[in-house]
Structure formats: C-alpha cells, structure tokens
Chain A
Amino acid sequence: MLDIQQLQIQLGDNQLNYHQQINSGDIVTLQGVSGVGKSSLLLCIAGFIQPVRGLISWQGTQISSQPIEQRPVAMLFQENNLFEHISVLKNARLGTANIGDTEIFAAAKELQITEQMQKMPLQLSGGQRQRVGLLRTLLRPEPLILLDEPFAELDNQTRTIAANWVNKIARAQNKTVLLVTHQMEDVDILADRNWLME
C-alpha cells in the first residue's frame, strides 16, 4: 500500500496538503484544476520535492526520507523524458536493465513506434516521444509508477491504444500507478479509483 500521511508541500506562497491511501496494484487517476498540486505530489513521491511535513510509506516502509535512487518509483515527467543526443532505442534501454530488446520492441510494436526506435529524439513528434517515455517507464522494474499527463499529446485513437497498453502491463505486473490526466476517457479505461483534488 502507498500511504500518504498528512503530507504538506510548500510551493511558493501555496501550501498543498495530501492525505490518501492507495492499495498495491491499483491504478489511480489524479484530476483537478491546474495548480492544485497534482504534479507536485508525484514529484514529492519520487523525491524531487521535499515535503514540509508528513510521511510517505510504501508497503510499510517510509520512503519520504530515502534518496531518489533508492525509492521504488519510476516516473514519467510531463516533458524532458529523453536524452536528445542518444538514439530512441538507447533511451528506451535506460533503467530497463532487467529486460532485453525483444521486450522493448514488442512494446514498441504495440505502441506503434517500432519505426522510430533507431532515430534520434529530435526526429520524433511530441506524441511519439511521449510513447517512448511511457514504454520505458512501464518496463522499468519499480513497482510504483507515476505518470504525469502521459497521453496529453496523443490523438484519440493512439490515446486509447496507449491507455490500454498501460492497463495491460500494469495489471500483468501488479504495478501501482498514479496517473495525472484531464480526460475522463482515461479514467474510464484505466482507473480503479479517481482522486479528485481540490
């Protein structure tokens, strides 16, 4: 279980408060108006923002004091998910030492980006880049997956394909997913629970 207890983040003049329990293996969508603190929460769980107070625990172990590298978290940022100077395939291999190219290419095929794997990130469209990042994040071994607007740049058809793929992989590997989205369609396809932030 992911246990977020009385967590408080200070962002400029804004104070953001969170308190929530999320069961292992659940996919939870996060919704709310811009600025409500959805991305900040993900960044805090991943270790990039230090909370003012409160605790984050995973399976009973407190992780909020752990360094980024030791947290059981894989995160997809809204942008800047790829190193621009190395190929897409090399980008996809990073952090996925547990799996081989066969699985990467199988996932790429499902996400319809096989043709892009040998290219450089600059040659890809925004949607293609996002799917490469998504592929890598889901294939990483960490059990807790944080996805910050992963389908924002995808057309409706590709969005459905990507969402279904996330659903399949997360369920098969029993991953716990927190996913920020503004689309109800994503909630319908993926969510065990929708966390509406106010």
Chain B
Amino acid sequence: MFTKSSNIAGLLFILIISSVTVLAFQGLIGFSQRGADLALLEDSYFHSILLFSIKQALLSALLSTLLAWPIARAIYYYPNIFFKQTFLSLSLLCFVLPTLVLITGFVSLLGLSGFITPFLGEDWSLYGLQGILLAHVYMNLPFAVRAMHLQLQSIPDSSWILARQLKFSRWQRFRLIEIPSLSANASLIFGFICILCFNSFAVVLALGGGPQSTTLEVAIYQALKYDFNIPEALTLAWSQFAIAGVFFLLLYRSSSVPWLSKDSTEKRWIPCISKTTKGIYLLIYTGTFVFMLMPLLALLPGVLAANYSIDLIVDVLQALSLTLILGVLSAVSAMLIAYCIMLPIRNAAQRGQLRLQNTLQWLANHTLIAPAMVLSVGLYILFLPLIDLDQLGIIFVLILNTLLILPFAIQQIRARVLQYDNDYALLYQSLKLNFQQRISIEWGYIKPIMLSTFALVLLISMGDVAIFSIFGNDNLQTLPWLIYQYAGSYRIHEASFASAILLLVYFIILLKIERAKYHA
C-alpha cells in the first residue's frame, strides 16, 4: 500500500478518536468522583432493559434483512421495473431520514388520531415494541435492500453465462450463485442493523411508550437528564459499550471482502423470469414503495395547513443554512479522516495481519457503539469549566458529528478500497507509481463510492438532534432542532412545513449525488 508516513496519519486519527471517547468517560467519572454503580448489574430493572434492548435489536435486524431479500431480488431480476432509480434514492432517504421527521409522519398515519389507525382495530398502538420495530424496519429495510441489490449486481456475467451453459435449474442458480453472493455480506448487513437498533435513541424515546420498552441508550439519557445519577449512567454505558463492542468485533471477524469480480458496468446476462414471477416481484416492489412513501406523504396535510409568515420562512431558511454548513464541514472531514484511517487498515490486510486489521477497524469504528449521549455529556462536563461552551459549542457539534458519522464513512468505503487492493495491489506495486499517481488512479476507481458515501454521511450529519441538544444554543439553530422546538411547542403545522423543507433538501442532494455517481 502507501508509505509509512501515510500510515502514521491514519494511526494518529485513530488515536485522536479513541482519546475523545476516553476523555468523555473521564469527564463523567471525574465529575461524579466515583465509578460505575455495579450493584445495578443485579437489579431486575437493568435485566429488563438489557433484554429489551437485545430483543428489539435482533427482531428489527431479522425483519429488515429477511424482508429485504425478496425486494432486492425483485429489483435485480426485473431491472426495467418502473421508477427503479427513484426507488433506490428513496431507500437511501429512508435510511438517513431525521428520526423526528419520520416520527411526525408515523404519528400522522398511525398515532392515536392517525389516518390509518381506525382500520387497525382497537388494540392497535403505535407505542411499544411494535412501534419501535415498525420505525426501525422503515429506516433499515431500505438500507438492506440497497446493500443486497449491490451484492446481487456484483455477480459477474460470466457466472450467469456458465450457469446457462450448464443448464442449471432455478434451485441450482439460487444455491450456487445467488446464495454465495449474498451470504458473504448478509451477516454484515444483519449485524450492522442490529448494532444501529441496539443503540437506537430517538425512536425508542418517542415510541417506547414506557419503562417496559426502554433501551440502554434511553436509560442512560434518563439517568443523566432526570436523576443526574452518573454512576448508574456509567454502568449502563459500560454495559452498552461492552455488548455492542463484542458484537461489533464478531461482526468484523465473520465478514470478508465481498464476493466480487472485477467491475462490470454493463449487466447483460440476468436470468429471464416468468410472467408469474414478474407479477409477484411487481407486487412486492409496489408494496414496499407505498410503505416507504406513506409516512412522507402524511406530512402534506400539515404543510398545507401551516400559517406562513415571513418570520417562519426566515427562521427555516436560516436554520437550513446552518444545517448545510455544519453538515458539509462534518461530511468533508469525515471522508478525509475515513480515507486516512483506511490506509493502515489496508496495509494490515495486504500483509495478512488479520488481528491488527480487526483491532484498527474496531478502534476506528467504535463511535458506532459508544453511547452518543455519554460522549456528548462527558465532553460537555469535562470542558464546561475550561471553555465558553455557549460560544464554542458549535465547534463541538462539528467534531462530535464528524466522529459519529465516521463509522458510516469507513463502512461504506472499506469494501471498495479493499477490493481495489485485492485486484490491483500487485499491479500498482509492480509499476512503482508515486503517491500522486496512485491517488489519481485510485480516485477514478473509488470516486462513485466516495460521492455516494459523502451524500450518505452529509445527510446523516444534517439530521442530528442529540448532539445539538447538548452543545447547541438558541441563537444558532439547525433545522432538525427547529423542528423539535416547533413540535415541542405543539406548532405541528410549522413542524410539518420545516420537515417538508428538510425532506426536499435531502431529496435534491440525493438526486444530485446519484446523478453524479452515475456519470462518474
């Protein structure tokens, strides 16, 4: 791979990221003057939230992965299906959709006075396990569909040609071609969703509906906000960190470089499907499309009923500008850092140093499993006596946002750069290219994934509320925070309008990036 000096930059970033987490925990421990409350580990309250955290995460991941499979097959085997590109863009939108917007949509649809609620029977409630699962599946199913579709697309034409020449049955094609293409990454997709749901905060806070449906992350928030019980928060945080950490480690150990051949831009050989199968795929696809669109369309009545004033529009536009500036800065930083961090990981992979590779990956991605609430509050407490956080809080929003979107950036570009090394390491070493030449050639190869990853992390970063709730101030408001404030003061129409503007911006960014990616 690259030189030792480029390795150092990556290692330095890993060290800085790890230091931030250590500092955050140090901030909490130092403030309370005592460590975690270990007696809590034997408390039935702790057991119940732990079990619920695991149960809802496993169920969410299982449902998302299983349901995604037939949908991914539908769009792969029926490539000319209507609005396919829009469907894929919408899928990404669902994954990055700010939770507040989604919950506003769900409440309009399925809440106490939702449009669909009267048809769901008297027992229906959006709150509790079913509501959490619904929201988690809504956000993660489309992600799984995209990931599986990508895997299916990577099946080389030559495999299908060979299968046809060998007169494979449908079952043989499935067993010998499709399953191997998906199995390499299915566990990764399942595990990734599981971790996201295990650490879920806003969805559980909004739709949990009571102590029987609480996750560790929400319990940490409650321990900090309502009781200011730092030992309890620390016990919960360590537990979450440990469980998610072990899970994450297992995930990385079991994953491998995707089952891919060299890039093939044109897919000409996809097995023909019968009319009946086509009909079934169409049904599955349309159903999913409707499922994804409904919570978004449910915002419309609120938008139409909003009382538009100059103040409202100025507030929304100002908040939107700040959201975009913070989002772009965080996303650019995260992309640069992610690329640098991948350099020592790639070197370790090239040398077959699996243990080192896994350790570096774990450290680089640990902010995915570190409780965001602990990071934010820990740093806040630590820096409060040292820095004027009212003035400089926005810098912390930027730094923490960058750290929290970093695992997504690494996750996205990792497979692509490892595949690049897999395919071309011998060649670029043999050609003795200099650093600039290597970067310029590699850029051509990774440009599409870099652009789409940039969009992904930009959108995730733009949706943040949790970090802003701690470090932000009322003079500078982001759009999600403004939505939260409107919703909190029962200005639902204004909240719907602001949500719709945010959605529109999300959709424009997605379309632009998808187009740029297509032409890359």
Which residues of A are interface residues toward B (Cβ below 8 A)? 46-48, 68-69, 73-75, 77, 80-86, 94-95, 122
What 1/0 flags go to B409-426 for Cβ under 8 Å of A?
000000000000001101
How many Å from the CB of B313 to the closest CB on chain A? Answer: 45
Contact A77 B426 (CB under 8 A): yes
Which residues of B are interface residues toward A (Cβ below 8 A)? 262-265, 423-424, 426-427, 429-433, 437, 441, 444-445
Contact of A83 among B427, B429, B430 (CB under 8 A): B427
User: Which residues from A are CB-within-8-Å of B437?
Assistant: 94
Can you add 11 more A-B contacts, CB < 8 Å, to A68-B432, A77-B426, A122-B264? A46-B430, A80-B424, A80-B426, A81-B427, A82-B427, A83-B424, A83-B441, A84-B423, A94-B431, A94-B437, A122-B263
- Cα-based distance from A83 to B445 in the complex (angstroms): 9
When C-beta atoms are compared, the residue in chain A nearest to B262 turns out to be A84
A48 and B426 in contact (CB under 8 A), knowing A84-B263, A94-B431?
yes
A94 and B444 in contact (CB under 8 A), knowing A80-B423, A85-B263?
no
Name 28 A/B residue pairs within 8 A (Cβ), A-sorted: A46-B430, A47-B429, A48-B426, A48-B430, A68-B429, A68-B430, A74-B430, A75-B430, A77-B426, A77-B427, A77-B430, A80-B423, A80-B426, A80-B427, A81-B427, A82-B427, A83-B427, A83-B444, A83-B445, A84-B262, A84-B423, A85-B263, A85-B444, A94-B431, A94-B433, A122-B263, A122-B264, A122-B265
Contact B426 A95 (CB under 8 A): no
Contact A95 B423 (CB under 8 A): no
- Cα-based distance from A77 to B431 in the complex (angstroms): 12
- Cα-based distance from A74 to B432 in the complex (angstroms): 9
- Cα-based distance from A4 to B423 in the complex (angstroms): 29
Counting chain A CB atoms within 10 Å of each CB, which of B429, B431, B433, B444 scores highest?
B431
How many Å from the CB of A148 to the closest CB on chain B? Answer: 11
When C-beta atoms are compared, the residue in chain A nearest to B446 turns out to be A85
Contact B433 A85 (CB under 8 A): no
When C-beta atoms are compared, the residue in chain B nearest to A95 turns out to be B431
User: Which residues from A are CB-within-8-Å of B263?
Assistant: 84-85, 122
Secondary structure type dominating chain A contacts: loop
User: Which residues from A are CB-within-8-Å of B431?
Assistant: 94-95
When C-beta atoms are compared, the residue in chain B nearest to A137 turns out to be B430
When C-beta atoms are compared, the residue in chain B nearest to A82 turns out to be B427
Counting chain B CB atoms within 10 Å of each CB, which of A81, A85, A86 scores highest?
A85
- Cα-based distance from A86 to B520 in the complex (angstroms): 12
How many Å from the CB of A178 to the closest CB on chain B? Answer: 14
User: Which residues from A are CB-within-8-Å of B441?
Assistant: 83, 86, 94
Contact of B433 among A77, A80, A95 (CB under 8 A): A95
- Cα-based distance from A176 to B431 in the complex (angstroms): 18
When C-beta atoms are compared, the residue in chain A nearest to B425 turns out to be A48
User: Which residues from B are CB-within-8-Å of A122?
Assistant: 263-265
When C-beta atoms are compared, the residue in chain B nearest to A90 turns out to be B441
Contact B445 A85 (CB under 8 A): yes
- Cα-based distance from A86 to B444 in the complex (angstroms): 7
Counting chain A CB atoms within 10 Å of each CB, which of B426, B427, B429, B430 scores highest?
B430
User: Which residues from B are CB-within-8-Å of A46?
Assistant: 430
User: Which residues from B are CB-within-8-Å of A81?
Assistant: 427
How many Å from the CB of B68 to the closest CB on chain A? Answer: 29
When C-beta atoms are compared, the residue in chain B nearest to A142 turns out to be B432
How many Å from the CB of B279 to the closest CB on chain A? Answer: 35
User: Which residues from B are CB-within-8-Å of A68?
Assistant: 429-430, 432
How many Å from the CB of A43 to the closest CB on chain B? Answer: 8
Counting chain A CB atoms within 10 Å of each CB, which of B265, B423, B427 scores highest?
B427
Contact of A69 among B426, B429, B445 (CB under 8 A): B429
User: Which residues from A are CB-within-8-Å of B427?
Assistant: 77, 80-83
User: Which residues from B are CB-within-8-Å of A83?
Assistant: 424, 427, 441, 444-445
- Cα-based distance from A86 to B437 in the complex (angstroms): 12
User: Which residues from A are CB-within-8-Å of B426?
Assistant: 48, 77, 80
When C-beta atoms are compared, the residue in chain B nearest to A43 turns out to be B426
- Cα-based distance from A175 to B391 in the complex (angstroms): 68
User: Which residues from B are CB-within-8-Å of A85?
Assistant: 263, 444-445
User: Which residues from B are CB-within-8-Å of A73?
Assistant: 430
User: Which residues from B are CB-within-8-Å of A75?
Assistant: 430
- Cα-based distance from A74 to B431 in the complex (angstroms): 7
- Cα-based distance from A46 to B426 in the complex (angstroms): 10
Contact of B432 among A77, A84, A95 (CB under 8 A): A95
Closest 4 CB pairs of A and B: A95-B431, A68-B429, A85-B444, A69-B432
How many Å from the CB of A47 to the closest CB on chain B? Answer: 8
- Cα-based distance from A134 to B36 in the complex (angstroms): 66
How many Å from the CB of B446 to the closest CB on chain A? Answer: 9
How many Å from the CB of A149 to the closest CB on chain B? Answer: 15
How many Å from the CB of B434 to the closest CB on chain A? Answer: 9
When C-beta atoms are compared, the residue in chain A nearest to B448 turns out to be A85
User: Which residues from A are CB-within-8-Å of B429?
Assistant: 47-48, 68-69
User: Which residues from B are CB-within-8-Å of A94?
Assistant: 431, 433, 437, 441
Counting chain A CB atoms within 10 Å of each CB, which of B262, B432, B445 scores highest?
B432
- Cα-based distance from A77 to B395 in the complex (angstroms): 51
- Cα-based distance from A95 to B426 in the complex (angstroms): 14
User: Which residues from A are CB-within-8-Å of B433?
Assistant: 94-95
- Cα-based distance from A77 to B432 in the complex (angstroms): 15
User: Which residues from B are CB-within-8-Å of A69?
Assistant: 429, 432
How many Å from the CB of A158 to the closest CB on chain B? Answer: 23
User: Which residues from A are CB-within-8-Å of B430?
Assistant: 46, 48, 68, 73-75, 77, 95
How many Å from the CB of A141 to the closest CB on chain B? Answer: 10
How many Å from the CB of B501 to the closest CB on chain A? Answer: 38
When C-beta atoms are compared, the residue in chain B nearest to A93 turns out to be B437
User: Which residues from A are CB-within-8-Å of B265?
Assistant: 122
Counting chain B CB atoms within 10 Å of each CB, which of A69, A77, A82 scores highest?
A69
User: Which residues from B are CB-within-8-Å of A77?
Assistant: 426-427, 430
User: Which residues from B are CB-within-8-Å of A48?
Assistant: 426, 429-430
When C-beta atoms are compared, the residue in chain B nearest to A81 turns out to be B427
How many Å from the CB of B269 to the closest CB on chain A? Answer: 15
